[in-house]
């Protein structure tokens, strides 16, 4: 093999590598510098950016031999290089790294090394970068989490630090006065690891003797598999095993709700979409494994495919799952409330339209990766272990165990740092395959999806067709909503039933509607399965509902905010599922915040009027939304947390909820620190390990801050109570007067006075002098606890308030978050190009536990929702994806990031931790209809389908059409 | 991905002989931003990758106000816009070089690779055409030159014969009163391929009011990048005003023969040809007047 010489981060290397190796592979796999990430391997995402002789390149497509004799800088060497060049500066990190931490520009962190290395090239040129320059510099470097706002903030801040020596603090929306930890913009606990490239994502792990596996995917969207010949593949030197359905010892199927998804298609199970796996090749290298796949012969009998949910319901449609009772119907979901006939009879105006929303892709930047390590591999791996970044570790454990015919306890899931999920990492992808391959070969086995495979396999957001009929009186009071929804759930159930239930129950919008009749058909088709994706069905129905609201406002001549205000849910109102809201409904305040800000920005009595500058037409548009927190619908919703305190004065909270970038770890640390009176930095968090951390339940439904946050808070509070009890005994004071604050435990004089009245501090009549009061360090308090023989660790299982199944009335959900989004768009009247210039939003989140990460959730959600409205569409033609590469999936880059003005409304919910409720999803919901409404205000054309087709928009403008039904990605007419 | 050999010849003759020997099993590697991605996606199969970055001629960026620009086929975009004399003389080329991919791409991607890849939407092609550029080709039978507008043979195909490769691109020195611009339309995101691209250049007379000569070119509206000779010819001698711009736009729209695909319908693209021609021509005139 030819010899490659290069210098990386100041260290010279001489390596033997094959000519077709790429720089990213050399760095990651040959040198172990895994800070450089691979998100696509097609020069699209920028995650692999490194500097070669000072010039930034996508190392994934950079042939290693082009770097012969070159000097390379990666994220791992950045801080050291900076310190050497600037010995006088303080701080261990490069200012960009420091700024990314302080300004919340790293969430999942997968994009962070690339963004930082790329931004460095700009700061090498100028220390006064304009936003335009930053955007130009980072235009090919994607981030799916932050919405880029924090990235812009951080790059500006780093430049300022380099100019002035001072790091500016982030400017964040105002929140209520903080407690000791709650309400403060604390940097994420894992931030340093993420900005230095040390964070370990699944593909960053390597084990001695590790093999690599790759799956063969179905060539057809629907086909019976008559025969699989693996002989040639098995004979290939370096191939250790080729597995098929015959090798699955336990349950041949898995599934989050329905057990309908085969581990391998074959035998009794046909392939039902092109992502179905048929065989798994396990070999010495990934390259060999993929080569082996090419040698497998599969005899298919192609079956007719059904690829849209309406045809799927026709009586003669091909049936996907003959063992199910209702053909292709996964679920018929019904909401019945009042009497719609009467409601429409009372209406003066009725608006009815049919809307379509696209199938969309999470495009988390880290492709799926699982590593199976066989039981007994070494001391650390007594059990069969799967390393994976997954949103539901305990469910993975169960599904792996079941298919391998093991007890749950015989399997351990160890979560790794995750490069985003957004709902797309809830289902099984490689976990069972990796575990099975490890068990069969007796060696660790890694399965890393290529980006193409990721696009092809994991569940998407449901495409929907939604017909909504809305009735209102002359003065704008809603009288009835009737709706019919079709959801394309794809080949397997995944969470399809739950998602479409949420779409259905939220289909009246955040309004009090006295009469509603809503029917939803979640259908099996031969498309990719559809399941959870941020917004969880509500994204889809909100587009339909909020578009109808604007049409209604126009027909009634009522201001769109006023119409929403008249009908807004408020305390005392009843939802269409029969739930009467008793508290924490901040919608009215969100409406008035946004209304005030838009009027101020527009300086106009009629803020929705369009205006023109050159070829561009501008207008604001608005939409409102709401989203449940928690599973709801009667599902038991609980999480268990373990808190341990240590004699050195630290504490740890353990819970197997998933950290996918949203900073749950920061929330859990803050709740624990708050209750124990510890500085935030002294609390460590362990998540996603089924052996060491109890079950936090699924990370879905915006539930973790609420449910796991409460579990951590209550576990920490009981731990504090235990320590209070021990100290009370020891020092003879009532336990409640012992305060835990800033790492100390002491008698709080004010509390004592309240308890005892004035005196010597003891019980009335106690003759002892004052002075038995004390101040201990937290460490001493823990030592006292241990000395008393008490356990320094305890668990608390938190059960969220009970909910009721749909159709039974009562509380279907224990909390809702609300939001109002206004978008200013420009439409180029000559080209149809739509741009979002600015957004103004307000979110009722109950309580801002950490305003920095909350801002991140809001900013990221907004840009994701913007993509949903304007560019994103996972295009499938007859069951075969057109969208095969990341380059074909158009998600917003930094150039499309709008200006933002966000407000937080803190209408506390009684049971939430410190009043908090979920925010993960609501931030992405109203923005799509707000944009569609703004476009309509600007040019008078309403798009009934997303993503908006700018081509169709222009043609409609030129022809004077008022509505368009086409969306981008529809087959040419 | 399929394995390949990597060779790095140091002379033009050596490169030609390697290419001639391996025929269609060899492929020239410049920045690799098209080639490597195509190999990874198995859109292309090759056995030998011939890196031409070590040749002095392909790495050359030589400008003089008299002789014009010799742009080596492998010079990456960032070197082009990073050179202030080149940037001032060839504004249309600079527009294109700054548009191609992100900064990481521009550090590698060459204009030579952009036109050899022969995408109908290649951003540099209309820009080069309006700068009246020519391709310098080396091959087993020596050297030849062809105008950039004649370099393309169809989507993904050029006039290069077996054993031939592009050594450099020559751009004539701009005359006094020269201005040029390139614009593209990519509505869905910055990283999209042009739905339509349009380049324009003009030479104005001493008064800067009258067009002496002009060139208009379009991308992504035909199987190859298109010189709209009719539009350029019609502009010669006209006052540099809205009427002239409208006339050129109408001729460009007429010349466009686009197809409908996922990124835009034929009708839309025809319309955009006019819009973009109008905008880019205005920009070219403004630059000529400011010069
Ligand atoms: C993320 C991304 C974004 C992109 N964005 C754009 C864009 O906005 N606009 C655009 O136009 N393109 C874009 N491209 C395509 C590509 O970057 C450009 O076409 C680039 O200019 C190609 O140059 P290169 O030096 O990398 O060519 P290479 O990949 O090295 O070569 C391209 C092709 O030409 C052949 N070739 C190269 N040089 C020669 C030569 N001297 N003689 C003969 N044959 C040769 C190669 O064999 C290959 O087939 C993008 C690509 C990526 C990956
Ligand atoms: S750009 Fe290299 S991994 Fe995405
Ligand atoms: S933080 Fe950027 S992709 Fe997750």
pLDDT one-digit tens code per residue, A190-225: 999 999 999 999 999 999 999 999 999 999 999 999
- What span, in angstroms and rounded, lies between the C-alpha atoms of A282 and A437? 7
Is A261 strand, coil or helix? Answer: strand
* Percent of chain A that is helix, strand, coil (3-state, to 5): 30, 25, 45
A389 lines ligand 3 (CB under 6 A): no
pLDDT higher than threshold 80 for residue A544: yes
Residues contacting A132, CB < 8 A, separation 6+? none
Is the model's pLDDT at A756 over the cut of 80?
no
Helix (H) or strand (E) holding A282: strand A277-283
Complete domains list, chain B, with CATH: 1-174 (3.30.465.10), 178-290 (3.30.390.50)
Supply the pLDDT for residue A554: 97
Residue A959, burial from CB neighbour count under 10 angstroms (0-12, 13-18, 19+): exposed
Q: Tell whether A551 and A489 lie within a shared domain.
A: yes
The pLDDT score that the predictor gives to residue B190 is 63
Residues with CB under 6 A from ligand 1: A 43-44; B 27-35, 37, 52, 73, 99-101, 105, 108-110, 112-114, 116-117, 122-123, 160, 165-166, 191
Residue A330 lies in a domain: no
Angle between helices A927-939 and A950-959 (to 10 degrees): 30
Per-residue pLDDT of A271-314, as tens digits, reads 999 999 999 999 999 999 999 999 999 999 999 999 999 999 99
Question: Is residue A248 located within the same domain as residue A375?
Answer: yes
Q: Which of B85, B166, B101 is nearest to B133 (CA)?
A: B166
Residue in B closest to A50 by C-alpha: B104
Give the H or E element holding residue A49. Answer: strand A49-52
Say whether both A851 and A952 belong to one domain: yes
Contact A629, A844 (CB under 8 A): no
Can you give the pLDDT of all 291 residues of chain B as single tens digits? 778 899 999 999 999 999 999 999 999 999 999 999 999 888 888 999 999 999 999 999 999 999 999 999 999 999 999 999 999 999 999 999 999 999 999 999 999 999 999 999 999 999 999 999 999 999 999 999 999 999 999 999 999 999 999 999 999 999 999 999 999 998 777 667 889 999 999 999 999 999 999 999 999 999 999 999 999 999 999 999 999 999 999 999 999 999 988 888 899 999 999 999 999 999 999 999 998
Overall average pLDDT of the A516-521 stretch: 98
Cis peptide leading into residue A555 (ω within 30°): no
Domain boundary among A119, A154, A184: A184
> Is the distance from CB of A158 to CB of A123 less than 8 angstroms?
yes
Atom of ligand 1 nearest to the CA of B34: 29
Q: How many CB atoms lie within 10 A of CB A184?
A: 16
In-domain check, residue A829: yes
- CB pairs under 8 A, 24+ apart, for A610-615? A610/A937, A610/A938, A610/A939, A612/A829, A615/A828, A615/A829, A615/A830, A615/A831
Does A972 reach chain B within 8 Å, measured CB to CB?
yes
Clarify whether residues A610 and A681 are in a common domain.
Answer: no
Lowest mean pLDDT among A504-513, A851-860, B192-201: B192-201
Check if the beta carbon of residue A848 is closer than 8 Å to that of residue A183: yes
Residue A611 burial by CB count (10 A; 0-12/13-18/19+): exposed, middle or buried? exposed
A514 CB near ligand 3 (under 6 Å): no
Q: Identify whether the C-beta of residue A921 lies closer than 8 Å to the C-beta of residue A536.
A: yes
Instruction: Calculate the average pLDDT of chain A.
Output: 96
Residue A126 lies in a domain: yes
Residue A861 beta carbon below 6 angstroms from any ligand 2 atom: no
pTM confidence score: 0.97
- Has residue A455 been placed in a domain? no
A794: β partners = A643
Output the pLDDT for position B263: 81
- Nearest Cα neighbor of A874 from A494, A458, A418 is A458
The verdict on A130 and A175 lying in the same domain is yes
Q: Is A430 in the pocket of ligand 3 (CB under 6 A)?
A: no
Q: Are strands B165-171 and B134-139 parallel, antiparallel or unpaired?
A: antiparallel
Q: Which atom of ligand 3 is nearest to the CA of A109?
A: 1
In chain A, residues with a C-beta closer than 8 Å to the C-beta of B261 are: 972
| Last residue of one domain, picked from the residues A420, A448, A476 | A448
Residue B290 CB neighbour total at 10 angstroms: 8
How confident is the model at residue A761, as a pLDDT?
55
Q: Does A343 fall in a domain?
A: no
Q: From the CB of residue A54, how many other CB atoms can be counted at a distance below 10 Å?
A: 13
- pLDDT tens track for A606-628: 899 999 999 999 999 999 999 99
A218, A266 contact by CB (below 8 A) = no
Cα-Cα-Cα-Cα dihedral sign, residues A289, A290, A291, A292:
positive
Adjacent-strand bridge partners of A217: A277
Mean pLDDT of A573-599: 97
Of A55, A139, A871, the CB nearest to B102: A139
Domain enclosing residue A219, as ranges: 205-303+368-448
Q: List A residues 112-141 in contact with B (Cβ-Cβ < 8 A).
A: 118, 121, 136-141
Burial class (CB in 10 A: 0-12, 13-18, 19+), A297: exposed
Same domain, A683 and A777: yes
Report d(CA A166, CA A179) in Å as an integer. 27
Residues above pLDDT 70, as percent of chain A? 98
- Give residue-wise pLDDT tens across range A442-460: 999 999 999 999 999 999 9
Dist. CA A205–CA A264, nearest whole Å: 26
Report the pLDDT value the prediction gives residue A758, as an integer from 0 to 100: 58
CB-ligand 3 contact for A38 (6 Å cutoff): no
Inform me whether the pLDDT recorded for A520 exceeds 80: yes
pLDDT of residue A598: 97
Name the residue among A298, A266, A284, A296 with its Cα closest to residue A213: A284
Q: Provide, as residue numbers in chain A, all residues whose Cβ is less than 8 Å from the Cβ of B5.
A: 19
Secondary structure (3-state) at A223: strand
Contact at CB, B104 and A57, closer than 8 angstroms: yes
Inter-chain residue contact A834 with B41, CB threshold 8 Å: no
User: Do the Cβ atoms of A834 and B187 come within 8 Å?
Assistant: yes
For the beta carbon of residue B146, count every other beta carbon within 10 angstroms.
16
| Closest of A538, A567, A571 to residue A910, by C-alpha | A571
> What is the per-residue pLDDT across A319-373, written as a single tens digit (0 to 9) for each?
999 999 999 999 999 999 999 999 999 999 999 999 999 999 999 999 999 999 9
Q: What whole-number distance in Å separates Cα of residue B103 and Cα of residue B106? A: 5
Q: Any CB–CB contact under 8 A between B262 and chain A?
A: yes
pLDDT digits (tens, 9 = 90+) for A680-739: 999 999 999 999 999 999 998 899 999 999 999 999 999 999 999 999 999 989 999 999
With a 6 Å cutoff on the Cβ, whether A113 touches ligand 2 is no
Do residue A649 and residue A795 come from a single domain? yes
CATH code of the domain covering residue A789: 3.30.365.10
Task: Collect all residues of chain B within an 8 Å Cβ-Cβ radius of residue A20.
Answer: 1-4, 6
Question: What confidence tier does A769 reach under pLDDT thresholds 50, 70, 90?
Answer: low
Are residues A780 and A833 both part of a single domain?
no
Query: Do residues A262 and A336 lie in contact, with contact meaning Cβ atoms separated by under 8 Å?
Result: no
| Cβ partners under 8 Å of residue A344, min gap 6 | A350, A469, A471, A479, A480, A482, A515
Top residue of A3, A20, A143 to mutate, by most chain B CBs within 10 Å, is: A20
Is B109:B76 a contact under the CB 8 Å cutoff?
A: yes
Rounded distance between C-alpha atoms, residue A957 and residue B275, angstroms: 15
Verify that A770 and A675 share a domain, yes or no: yes
Q: What average pLDDT score do residues A819-847 get?
A: 97
- Cα–Cα dist A822/A333, whole Å: 31
| Chain A hits for B104, Cβ within 8 Å | 43, 46, 49, 56-58, 118, 140-141
Residue A91 has pLDDT above 90, yes or no: no
The verdict on residue A285 lying in a domain is yes
Q: What is the pLDDT of residue A605?
A: 81
Helix ranges (H only) for A207-326 are 231-235, 286-293, 309-312
8 A C-beta contact, residue B9 and residue B55: yes
Q: Which of A169-178, A288-297, A368-377, A760-769 has the lowest mean pLDDT?
A: A760-769
> Which residue has the CA at smallest separation from atom 2 of ligand 3?
A143
Cβ neighbour number for residue B261 with a 10 Å cutoff: 12
Check whether residue A112 and residue A13 sit in a common domain: yes
What strands, in cross-sheet order, belong to the sheet with A411-415?
A: A239-243, A277-283, A211-217, A445-448, A369-373, A384-388, A411-415
CA distance A954 to chain B (A): 8
Rounded Cα distance, B170 and B193, in Å: 26
**Model confidence band, residue A638 (pLDDT cutoffs 50, 70, 90):** very high
Residue A391 lies in a domain: yes
C-alpha of residue A113 to centroid of ligand 3, in Å: 10
CB contact under 8 A, B102 and A892: no
| pLDDT tens by residue, A132-145 | 999 999 999 999 99
The reply to whether B246 touches chain A by the CB within 8 Å rule is no
In order of A50, A54, A143, A244, the CA distances from A78 in angstroms are 10, 12, 20, 46
- Rounded Cα–Cα distance for residues B220 and B237 (Å): 29
Answer whether A47 contacts ligand 2 (Cβ < 6 A).
Answer: yes
Long-range pairs for A587-590 at CB < 8 Å and ≥24 separation?
Answer: A587/A510, A587/A624, A587/A626, A587/A818, A587/A820, A587/A844, A589/A842, A589/A844, A589/A905, A589/A907, A590/A624, A590/A818, A590/A819, A590/A820, A590/A842, A590/A843, A590/A844, A590/A903, A590/A905
CA of A926 from ligand 3 middle (Å) equals 22
Answer yes or no: is A875 within a domain. Answer: yes
Q: What is the CATH number of the domain that holds A66?
A: 3.10.20.30
> Cβ separation of B189 and A893 shorter than 8 Å?
yes
What digits encode the pLDDT tens for the residues B227-253? 999 999 999 999 999 999 999 999 999
As a whole number of Å, the CA-based R_g of chain B is 19
Whether the ipTM is more than 0.90: the answer is: yes
Is B261 in Cβ contact with A972 (below 8 Å)? yes
Cβ partners under 8 Å of residue B126, min gap 6: B96, B182, B197, B198, B199, B217, B218, B219, B225, B226
Nearest CA among A92, A622, A660 for reference residue A366: A660
pLDDT at residue A573 in the model? 98
Q: Chains A, B: CB contacts under 8 A, how many?
A: 127
Determine which residue's CA is closest to atom 1 belonging to ligand 2. A43
Among A781, A799, A817, where does a domain finish?
A799
A43 lines ligand 2 (CB under 6 A): yes
Domain shared by A642 and A627, yes or no = no
Q: How far is B242 from chain A (nearest CA, A)?
A: 15
Residues of A with Cβ-Cβ distance to B37 under 8 angstroms: 42-43, 61
Contact call for B188 and A830, based on CB within 8 A: no
Tell me the per-residue pLDDT of A51-77, one tens digit each, with 9 for 90 and over. Answer: 999 999 999 999 999 999 999 999 999
Query: CA triplet A754, A755, A760: central angle to 5 degrees?
Result: 90
Cβ contact (<8 Å) for A882 and B262?
A: yes
Sheet order of strands, B178-185 included: B178-185, B196-204, B211-219, B226-227
- Among all bound ligands, the one having the nearest atom to the CA of A62 is 2
**pLDDT at residue B19, rounded to an integer:** 97
User: Of ligand 3's atoms, which has the minimum distance to the CA of residue A144?
Assistant: 3
What's the number of domains chain A is made of? 4
Residues from chain B contacting residue A892 (CB–CB below 8 Å) = 189
Residue A109 CB less than 6 A away from ligand 3: yes
| Pairwise CA distance, residues B197 & A826, whole Å | 21
For residue A106 and ligand 3, the question of a CB distance below 6 A is answered with yes
**Could you tell me if A794 and A818 lie in one domain?**
no
Q: Which one of A24, A54, A885, A890 would you mutate to disrupt binding with B, by most B Cβ within 10 Å of its Cβ? A: A890
Query: Is B190 within 8 Å of A140 when comparing Cβ atoms?
Result: yes
Give the gap in angstroms from C-alpha A860 to the nearest C-alpha of chain B: 17
Q: Can you give the CATH number for the domain in which A236 is found?
A: 3.90.1170.50
Could you give the count of Cα atoms lying within 13 Å of B104 in the half-sphere of its Cβ?
32
> Rounded to an integer, what distance in angstroms lies between the CA atom of residue A626 and that of residue A926?
8
Helix, strand, or coil (residue B231): helix
Which A residues, 37 through 56, put their C-beta within 8 Å of a C-beta on chain B?
41-44, 46, 49, 55-56
Strand, coil or helix: what is A924? helix
Please name the residues in contact with A604: beta carbons below 8 A apart, sequence gap of 6 or more.
Answer: none
């Amino acid at each position: 093999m030819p010899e490659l010489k290069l210098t990386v981060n100041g260290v010279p290397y001489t390596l033997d590598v094959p000519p077709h190796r790429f720089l990213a592979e050399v760095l990651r796999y040959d040198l172990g510098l895994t800070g450089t990430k691979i998100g696509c391997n097609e020069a699209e995402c920028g995650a692999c950016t490194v500097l070669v002789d000072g010039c930034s390149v996508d190392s994934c497509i950079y042939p290693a031999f082009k770097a012969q004799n070159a000097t390379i800088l990666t994220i791992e060497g950045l801080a050291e290089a900076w310190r050497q060049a600037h010995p006088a500066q303080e701080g261990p990190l490069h200012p960009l790294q420091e700024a990314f931490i302080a300004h919340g520009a790293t969430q999942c962190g997968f994009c962070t090394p690339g963004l930082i290395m790329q931004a460095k090239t700009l700061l090498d040129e100028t220390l006064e970068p304009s936003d335009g320059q930053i955007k130009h510099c980072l235009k090919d470097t994607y981030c799916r989490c932050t919405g880029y706002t924090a990235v812009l903030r951080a790059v500006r801040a780093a430049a300022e630090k380099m100019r002035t020596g001072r790091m500016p603090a982030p400017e964040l929306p105002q929140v209520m006065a903080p407690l000791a930890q709650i309400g403060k913009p604390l940097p994420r606990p894992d931030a340093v690891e993420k900005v230095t490239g040390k964070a370990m994502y699944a593909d960053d792990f390597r084990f001695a003797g590790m093999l690599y596996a790759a799956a063969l995917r179905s060539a057809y969207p629907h086909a019976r598999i008559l025969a699989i010949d693996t002989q040639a593949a098995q004979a290939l030197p370096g191939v250790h095993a080729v597995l098929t359905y015959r090798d699955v010892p336990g349950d041949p199927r898995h599934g989050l709700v329905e057990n309908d998804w085969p581990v391998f298609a074959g035998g009794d199970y046909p392939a039902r979409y092109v992502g179905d796996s048929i065989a798994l090749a396990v070999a010495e290298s990934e390259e060999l494994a993929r080569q082996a796949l090419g040698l497998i012969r599969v005899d298919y009998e192609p079956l007719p495919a059904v690829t849209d949910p309406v045809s799927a319901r026709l009586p003669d449609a091909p049936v996907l799952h003959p063992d199910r009772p209702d053909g292709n119907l996964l679920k018929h979901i019904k909401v019945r409330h009042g009497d719609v006939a009467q409601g429409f009879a009372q209406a003066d105006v009725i608006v009815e339209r049919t809307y379509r929303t696209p199938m969309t892709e999470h495009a988390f930047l880290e492709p799926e990766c699982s590593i199976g390590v066989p039981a007994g591999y070494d001391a650390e791996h007594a059990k069969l272990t799967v390393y994976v970044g997954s949103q539901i570790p305990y469910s993975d454990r169960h599904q792996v165990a079941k298919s391998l015919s093991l007890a749950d306890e015989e399997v351990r899931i160890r979560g790794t740092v995750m490069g985003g999920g957004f709902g797309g990492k809830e289902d099984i992808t490689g976990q069972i395959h990796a575990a099975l391959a490890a068990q069969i070969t007796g060696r660790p086995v890694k399965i890393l999806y290529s980006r193409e495979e990721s696009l092809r396999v994991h569940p998407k957001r449901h495409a929907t067709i939604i017909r909504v009929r809305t009735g209102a009186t002359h003065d704008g009071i809603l009288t009835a909503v009737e709706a019919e929804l079709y959801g394309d759930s794809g080949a397997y159930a995944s969470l399809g039933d739950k998602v479409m239930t949420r779409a259905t129950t939220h289909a009246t919008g955040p309004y009090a509607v006295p009469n509603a009749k809503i029917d939803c058909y979640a259908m099996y088709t031969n498309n990719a399965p559809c399941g959870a994706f941020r917004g969880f069905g509500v994204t889809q129905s909100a587009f339909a509902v909020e578009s109808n609201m604007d049409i209604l406002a126009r027909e009634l001549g009522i201001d769109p905010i006023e119409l929403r205000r008249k009908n807004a849910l408020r305390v005392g109102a009843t939802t269409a599922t029969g739930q009467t809201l008793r508290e924490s409904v901040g919608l009215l305040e969100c409406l008035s915040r946004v209304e005030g800000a838009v009027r101020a920005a527009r300086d106009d009595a009629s803020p929705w009027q369009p205006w023109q500058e050159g070829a561009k037409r501008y207008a604001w548009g608005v939409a409102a939304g709401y989203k449940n927190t928690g599973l709801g619908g009667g599902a038991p919703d609980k999480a268990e947390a373990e808190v341990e305190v240590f004699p050195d004065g630290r504490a740890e909270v353990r819970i197997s909820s998933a950290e996918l970038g949203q900073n749950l770890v920061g929330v859990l640390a803050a709740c624990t620190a708050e209750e124990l009176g510890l500085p935030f930095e002294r609390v460590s968090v362990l998540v996603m390990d089924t052996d060491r951390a109890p079950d936090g339940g699924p990370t879905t439904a915006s539930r973790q801050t609420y449910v796991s946050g409460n579990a951590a808070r209550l576990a920490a509070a009981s731990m504090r109570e235990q320590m209070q009890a021990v100290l009370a005994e020891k020092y003879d004071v009532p336990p409640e007067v012992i305060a835990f604050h800033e790492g100390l435990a002491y008698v709080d004089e004010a509390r004592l006075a309240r308890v005892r009245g004035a005196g010597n501090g003891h019980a009335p009549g106690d003759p002892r002098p004052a002075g038995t009061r004390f101040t201990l360090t937290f460490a001493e308090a823990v030592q006292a606890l241990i000395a008393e023989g008490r356990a320094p660790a305890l668990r608390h299982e938190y059960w969220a308030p009970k909910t009721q199944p749909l159709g039974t009335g009562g509380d279907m959900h224990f909390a809702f978050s609300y939001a109002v989004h206004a978008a200013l768009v420009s439409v180029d009247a000559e080209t149809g190009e739509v741009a979002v210039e600015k957004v103004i939003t307000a979110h009722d989140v109950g309580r801002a536990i950490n305003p920095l990460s909350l801002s991140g959730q809001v900013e990221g959600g907004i840009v994701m929702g913007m993509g949903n409205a304007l560019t994103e569409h996972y295009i499938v033609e007859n069951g075969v994806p057109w969208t095969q590469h990341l380059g074909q999936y158009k998600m917003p880059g930094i150039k499309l990031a709008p200006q933002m003005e966000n407000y937080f409304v803190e209408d506390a919910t009684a049971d939430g931790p410190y009043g908090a409720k979920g925010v993960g999803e609501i931030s992405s919901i109203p923005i799509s209809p707000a944009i569609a409404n703004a476009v309509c205000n600007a040019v008078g054309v309403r798009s009934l389908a997303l993503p908006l087709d700018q081509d169709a928009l222009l043609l409609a403008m030129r022809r004077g059409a008022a509505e368009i039904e086409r969306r981008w990605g529809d087959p040419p007419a | 991905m399929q394995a390949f050999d990597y060779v790095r010849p140091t002379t033009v003759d050596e490169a030609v002989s390697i290419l001639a020997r391996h025929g269609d099993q060899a492929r020239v590697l410049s920045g690799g931003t098209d080639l490597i991605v195509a190999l990874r996606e198995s859109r292309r199969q090759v056995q030998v990758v011939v890196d031409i970055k070590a040749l002095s001629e392909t790495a050359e960026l030589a400008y003089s106000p008299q002789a014009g620009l010799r742009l080596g086929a492998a010079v990456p975009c960032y070197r082009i816009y990073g050179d202030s004399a080149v940037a001032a003389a060839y504004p249309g080329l600079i527009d294109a070089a700054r548009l191609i991919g992100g900064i990481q791409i521009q550090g590698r991607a060459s204009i030579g690779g952009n036109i050899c890849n022969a995408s109908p939407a290649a951003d540099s092609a209309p820009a080069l055409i309006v700068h009246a550029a020519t391709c310098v080709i080396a091959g087993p039978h020596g050297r030849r030159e062809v105008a950039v507008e004649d370099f393309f043979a169809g989507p993904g195909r050029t006039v290069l014969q077996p054993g031939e490769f592009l050594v450099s691109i020559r751009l004539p020195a701009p005359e006094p009163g020269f201005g040029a611009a390139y614009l593209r339309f990519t509505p869905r995101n910055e990283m999209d391929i042009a739905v339509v691209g349009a380049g324009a250049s003009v030479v104005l007379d001493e008064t800067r009011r009258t067009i002496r000569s002009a060139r208009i070119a379009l991308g992504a509206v035909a199987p190859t990048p298109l010189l709209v000779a009719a539009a350029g010819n019609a502009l010669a001698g006209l006052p540099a005003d809205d009427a002239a711009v409208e006339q050129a736009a109408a001729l460009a729209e007429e010349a466009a023969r686009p197809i409908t695909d996922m990124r835009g319908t034929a009708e839309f693209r025809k319309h955009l040809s006019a819009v973009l021609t109008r905008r880019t021509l205005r920009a070219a005139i403004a630059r000529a007047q400011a010069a």
